[in-house]
Structure 1
Amino acid sequence: MNKQTLSAALAAIFASLLLIACSTVQHAAVDEPNASKPVLSCDQSIAEYFKPDDLTTVVFVKQFKQGELLALAGDNPPPYAPRAKHDLCMVKLNVGPGNPGPANATSTSNGIGIEVWLPSNENWNGRIHARGGGGFQGGVAGSPDHVASPFMAAAIADYEGAVSSMTDAGHASVPKNYGIPDSSGDFLMNPDGSINKTLWHDFSVRAIHEQALKTKALTTAFYGRPAAYAYWEGTSTGGRQGFKLAQAHPEDFDGIVANLPAMHWTRFVTAMMYPQLVFQRDLGGKALTIAQQDLVSNAAIHACDLVGGQHLGYIMNPAQCDYDPTLDKAVLCTSDGGYNATPACVTIVQANVFNKIWYGITEDGSVPAPAEDNGWDVPLADRQLWYGLTRGTSLWNAYFTRMLGRPAGVTNPDAPQSLGTDQLALQMEDPTVAGPDFRNASTIERDGWKDLSYEQLAAALKRGEVLDAAFSHINSDNPDLSAFEARGGKLLSWHGLNDEVIPVQGSMQYYDSVVNKMGSLQRVQDFYRLYLVPGAGHESPNGTSNPQANPPIFGKQSMYELLVNWVEHGVAPGRVDMQSPSATPFMRSQPACVYPSKAVYQSGDPNIASSFTCQ
């Protein structure tokens, strides 16, 4: 990808992030009696007077005036970098004690960096709307030289009028691109290869709890009154963080949006390596080409997307799809009994690789016939160790691979997803199995994952269960939400059926476990609701292999608006009629139903929401 194309791709990403934070729908200001003048000014007086505890230091304060570029001295902002629409105050904090060590070691930390953005007193809507992160997080939230979140927390404060914040989760890293943090997991390993329990704890839970505490304290100090409501919103890692907050610190937030959550961390991240290992063991290290992946994935869609006599271009109900490419002559090469003579044709062995990827990791690399078990059912089948991606998903993650200009999918032929190789190294306590970018002083050897057997990968996944406590319970799958329920908290989540990174069944499994733990579906739905969205991917509006699918999806601010209405006005969300993000190739509407209900076609045009009911 050339520089101009990369710049355009990054611009598209940032524009999307900006829309998430900057909905044109305006919330009514929270009623406040006689709003007082700010107690603190947006200058270095904050460093002198804001001392919530002995571990917290004010690193930097900056007043951004209306029209000023949201950047600091060390940034290299692109032409599309945003300018402030209103006066904003940015405060950067560091919360110790950090983790001592050699100056050049990734495991060495000065503490948790937190960046807080405060609207002017007259523009503040009385709320806190904090944001989560992605991947292994990191970044420059505590750096005086860089702006960490010009398209996230800053945009929320600027356009929405809420106080917002982000954290580096305890490991500072200079972004490779303006606003995008380095997301390597090597900081979680000590220089000698052992587990860095301190930074695992910061990454898992302490950083986000400190973010909540310090954002609240600074809000009260700055405006002279506390926020009326505090909300958390996060996707992927930010979704996992939302669930961890509800589980471990239910008092921190009144409402939580936790989308596409990266819970079950040690399971799903390790399982991301399974497709790449299948390429090594079954195909001699020769990955399926992009053309082959799209051919077979699109064939799966065509076999299973028929609704009301029309092909939708995406699969609404994966449970009913048992497409088996080993039986499809349209994709099999002529040499293997098929009639596909194109370079994208697949052999019987290659076709079965798809079945393995869709089914998910097993102890020995085996897979049942899809007609017997298509890998969808929750809970896990006997031989499954974790779920695979659903049929019709873009396995190589076309959306983000093209956006970022580098491999981003679990089956990308160029390289495995570094999230998976990093976590594999951490669970095996062996940096040699990681990818080349994993930094550790104990050895220079890398890419050892290629030599693992199926049994060794399965053992690594199981070892993650054993190490979860040492990783500060990073799996974030505690089903007991009774304390969050008791304090009146509300929790919303949605997950795309075609998530290219995190199998959607993990969200379903967790929800079912909460119902089992707390005794009844009705009790859980009184404070926690989940939506599943056909066709949607991992932060991508279309997670399928079909670029023309254009499935309906939640609007950028929909979940937050539903949450605010639920928390502040007692209006519990129900069926939500979604629309496609664009009119090309044509606009569709479809209902999102509260899990475990799903959209069921009744009659009429299947491209119109009124043709479906939630059952």
Structure 2
Amino acid sequence: MRVPSVVFSISAVLLAAPSLARTDADCSALRNVPFDGGYVTTAQVISKNDALPAYCEVRATALPNISIEVRLPMEDWNGKYYQAGRGGFCGILGRADAGNSWINAMRPGLERGYATATSDSGHHGLSVVDAAWAHHDPHAERDWGWRSIGETNRVANLLIDVLYGTPANQAVFQGCSTGGRMAHMAAQKYPDMFQGIISGAPAMDYTGLVATKMSWLMQANTDPDGNQILRPGKEKLIGDAIAGQCGNEKSVVEDPRLCEPDFSALKCDADAGDQCLTEAELGVLEKWYSGPVNSAGDQLYPGGVPAGSEPFWWLWLTGNTEGGGKLVNAFTTNFGAYMAFADDPGPDWRPSDFDFDTDPAKLATMAKAYNSDSPDLSAFREAGGKMIVWHGWADAIVTPFKTVEWYEQAADKAGGQDVLEQSVALFMIPGVDHCGILKGPAGVSSADIDPMGPLETWLETGVRPETIVQGQ
């Protein structure tokens, strides 16, 4: 812990206007800022480059184990705060900012002059599919579920106040996938914390999605001997058939809810080959497109894999011939072993162990910590918050049908869609992969999507956005 003696002499030096430039010494002095329940570890100036301004990078820990990174512009701070979510099971601080995408990254805020922050959600992981940190650790699960959102905000705003001598006057949260789950959690658990929220491909019902639905996908594609049935190589055959039946002129399925695939013409007659589908492969497709059910035929999760997502299956479902992809297997295996149940079964658990009659009920305890799919946004709306929710219709891992269901329920809860639209704008984008990671048939990816500009306009002028796809 830091000794508080030097403390708020720092603030006295920094009470100049927030827009004035800060010095290297101002940044270094943040190492000595004390706060309850944590401590600063490092503070250093990162020089300006082609994309980003110079900023003070502060690393801090909120106890017990939430690692936080705060980036504070050295000059021309706009007086606002921007917080980024994380993907997968998180565990890697600042991972999103290592690439060029804006998804779950601090970069979009920093480029616009915001003070920005993110965290590792309370643990260190070897990868974003590593969940061993949660094994019999309810504190880590709590921090991942919701507490890291509030703690990141608390620590970042304390540092903002010290460096600039004034608090931020507006706050924005942006996240996709798990970051989208966090965005919804922020609106529900911290309704006054963020005036603007961007939620992409939100994995709101984490237990239903990663335990129930993904176990269904894995079981459907595994034969009695444990072998994968639908292997890499036939995604194009399947996708071409879907595009021919349901696609537009760009081979994009505009609304998969209206597509009822028919693969009867592709059924193998005798010898199986690359240009036909075996009985077993057809069985996989039937289960994938319809979604999980129990032995009574009750739907356990809204919808299955959306028609039109086939070009992206190698990354999420089938893998490729080089051994890459197939991330759904890793996600559901780790989640079921270490996170899904109140009593963790441990590393020997496999998706094949999931019982669709009895296990969904066993997810209830952890659902309370993780899930953010409540349609009640009344507190956030009453606080004047604005929220952009976006989702690709071709998302093969986080079901877009769930997002639509949530929006319809939220509209009912608000008293009608016209009422909800005053606070929430939903954009369902045809042909777009999960968080826009890969380019689809029409060439659209996250690089073509900008929710930040429209959100800023909405907050500043009250004009609700009509699109978030650039060029439209």
Bucket of the pairwise TM-score, normalised by the shorter protein: 0.7 to 0.9
In structure 2, the residue matched to 1:266 is 207
Task: Determine whether 1:536 maps to 2:453.
Answer: no
User: Which residue pairs with 1:496 in the alignment?
Assistant: 392
**Percent of aligned pairs with the same amino acid:** 24
SS in 1 for 2:389: strand
Question: Within the alignment, does 1:56 sit opposite 2:34 as a pair?
Answer: no
Aligned residue in 1 for 2:358: 459
Distance in 1 of aligned mates of 2:444 and 2:315: 16
Residue in 1 that maps onto 2:54: 87
**Contact in 1 for aligned 2:244/2:251 (Cα 8 Å):** yes
**In structure 2, what is the equivalent of residue 507 of structure 1?**
403
Kindly indicate whether residue 351 of structure 2 is the aligned counterpart of residue 449 of structure 1. yes
| Counterpart Cα distance in 2 of 1:363 and 1:396 | 27
Give the drift of 1:155: 3.3
Q: Quote the Cα distance in structure 1 between the aligned partners of 2:437 and 2:106.
A: 24
* Distance of 2:468 and 2:149 partners within structure 1: 30
1:45 aligns with 2:29: yes
Contact 1:64 1:84 in 2 (8 A): no
Q: Is the 8 A contact 1:496 1:533 kept in 2?
A: yes
Q: Distance in 1 between matches of 2:107 and 2:148?
A: 21
Deviations 1:127-158 (A, max 9, x none): 212111000101246xxxxx884446563465
Relative to structure 1, is the Cα distance of residues 365 and 430 closer, same or farther in structure 2, using a 3 angstrom cutoff?
A: farther
**Paired position in structure 2 for 1:252:** 193
Length-normalised TM-score, structure 1: 0.67
CA 1:61 to 1:458, structure 2 compared with 1: closer, same or farther past 3 Å? farther
Offset of residue 289 of structure 1? 1.8
Question: Is the alpha carbon distance of 1:363 and 1:201 closer, same or farther for their aligned partners in structure 2, counting shifts above 3 Å?
Answer: same
Quote the residue 1:223 is aligned against.
Answer: 164
Say if 2:112 is the partner of 1:112. no
1:514 CA drift (Å): 1.1
User: Within the alignment, does 1:66 sit opposite 2:39 as a pair?
Assistant: no
Displacement of 1:553: 5.8
Counterpart contact for 1:233–1:257, Cα < 8 Å: yes
Shift of 1:59: 0.7
Matched, 1:288 2:270: no
Q: What is the match of residue 8 of structure 2?
A: none
After superposition, give the CA deviation of every residue in 1:503-530 in whole Å (9 maximum; x if it has no partner): 1011111111211222121111101111
Report if aligned partners of 1:324, 1:355 keep a CA contact under 8 Å in 2.
no
Residue identity in the other structure for 1:574: E
Q: Structure 2 vs 1, CA of residues 396 and 431 (structure 1 numbering), >3 Å: closer, same or farther? A: farther
Q: Which amino acid aligns with 2:48?
A: Q
Aligned counterparts of 1:578 and 1:35: Cα–Cα separation in 2: 30
Q: Secondary structure at the match of 2:407?
A: helix
Q: Distance in 2 between matches of 1:402 and 1:88?
A: 40
SS in 1 for 2:270: helix
Following TM superposition, by how much is the alpha carbon of 1:448 offset from its aligned partner in structure 2, in angstroms? 3.9
Aligned to 2:236, what secondary structure does the other structure show?
Answer: helix
Of residues 149, 165, 169 in structure 1, which corresponds to 2:121? 169
Query: Counterparts of 1:541 and 1:189 in 2: how far apart (Å)?
Result: 30
Following superposition, the deviation at residue 250 of structure 1 comes to: 1.1
Gap change, CA 1:355 and 1:283, over 3 Å in 2: farther
TM-score by length of 2: 0.85
Q: 1:291 to 1:572 in 2, by over 3 A?
A: same
- Report the AA paired with residue 184 of structure 1: D
Cα separation, 2, equivalents of 1:276 and 1:267: 14
The residue correspondences of 1:183-262 to structure 2 (distance < 5 A) are 183-190=129-136, 196-262=137-203
- The equivalent of 1:484 in structure 2 is 380
Partner of 1:427: 340
Quick one: structure 1 residues 234 and 157, their matched pair in 2 at CA, closer, same or farther if it must change by over 3 Å? closer
Counterpart residue identity of residue 421, structure 1:
T
- Higher-helix-fraction structure: 2
Letter in 2 for 1:92: R
Unmatched tracts of structure 1, length 5 or more: 1-31, 68-82, 99-110, 142-146, 175-180, 191-195, 367-381, 411-415, 435-445, 580-588, 590-615
Distance 1:136 1:406 in 2: 22
After superposition, the Cα gap between the structure-2 partners of 1:406 and 1:526, relative to the gap in structure 1 and judged at 3 Å, is: farther
Quote the offset at 1:324 in angstroms.
2.4
Please show how residues 298-337 of structure 1 align to structure 2 within 5 Å.
298-306=240-248, 311-325=249-263, 328-329=264-265, 331-335=266-270
Deviation at 1:577, TM superposition (A): 6.2
CA offset digits 1:566-591 (Å, max 9, x no partner): 01121111256655xxxxxxxxx6xx
Q: Which residue identity lines up with residue 414 of structure 2 in the other structure? A: M
Q: Please state how far the C-alpha of 1:396 moved relative to its aligned partner.
A: 6.0
Matched residue, 1:126: 79
Over 3 Å counting, the alpha-carbon distance change for 1:344 and 1:282 in structure 2 is farther
- 1:136-189 Cα offsets, whole Å, 9 max, x none, are 101246xxxxx8844465634653322111101000246xxxxxx544112122
Inter-CA distance 523–41: structure 2 relative to 1 (3 Å threshold): farther
Q: 1:189-241 CA distances to partner (integer Å, 9 max, x unpaired)?
A: 22xxxxx2211110011101111122122112111122232111111111111
* Other-structure match for 1:79: none
The residue number in structure 2 matching 1:573 is: 465
The 1-side partners of 2:414 and 2:360 are apart by 28
CA drift of 1:534 comes to 0.7
Distance 1:507 1:395, change over 3 A: same
**CA 1:448–1:567: 2 relative to 1, 3 Å:** closer
* TM-aligned CA distance change 1:154 to 1:540, over 3 Å: closer
What amino acid is the match of 2:279?
A: I
Residues of 2 paired with 1:543 and 1:554: CA distance?
8
State the alpha-carbon separation in 1 of the partners of residues 176 and 431 from structure 2: 17
The residue matched to 1:322 in structure 2 has which SS?
A: coil
Match of 1:359 among 290, 307, 310: 290
The DSSP-based 3-state class of the residue aligned with 2:40 is strand
Q: CA deviation at 1:457?
A: 3.9
Correspondence for 1:347 among 258, 262, 278: 278
Aligned equivalent of 2:92: 139
In the alignment, the residues of structure 2 paired with residue 388 and residue 139 of structure 1 have an alpha-carbon distance, to the nearest angstrom, of 30
Inter-partner Cα distance in structure 2 for 1:148 and 1:343:
38
Tell me if structure 2 keeps the 8 A contact 1:90–1:116: yes
Residues 419 and 387 of structure 1, relative CA distance in 2, 3 Å threshold: same
Question: Any gaps of 5 or more consecutive residues in structure 2?
Answer: 1-15
When residues 556 and 163 of structure 1 are mapped into structure 2, their CA distance, relative to the original with a 3 A threshold, is farther
How far apart, CA to CA, are the structure 1 residues paired with 2:296 and 2:436? Answer: 30
The one-letter code sitting in structure 2 at the alignment partner of 1:335 is A
| Count of aligned pairs between the two proteins | 448
One-letter identity of the residue aligned with 2:221: F
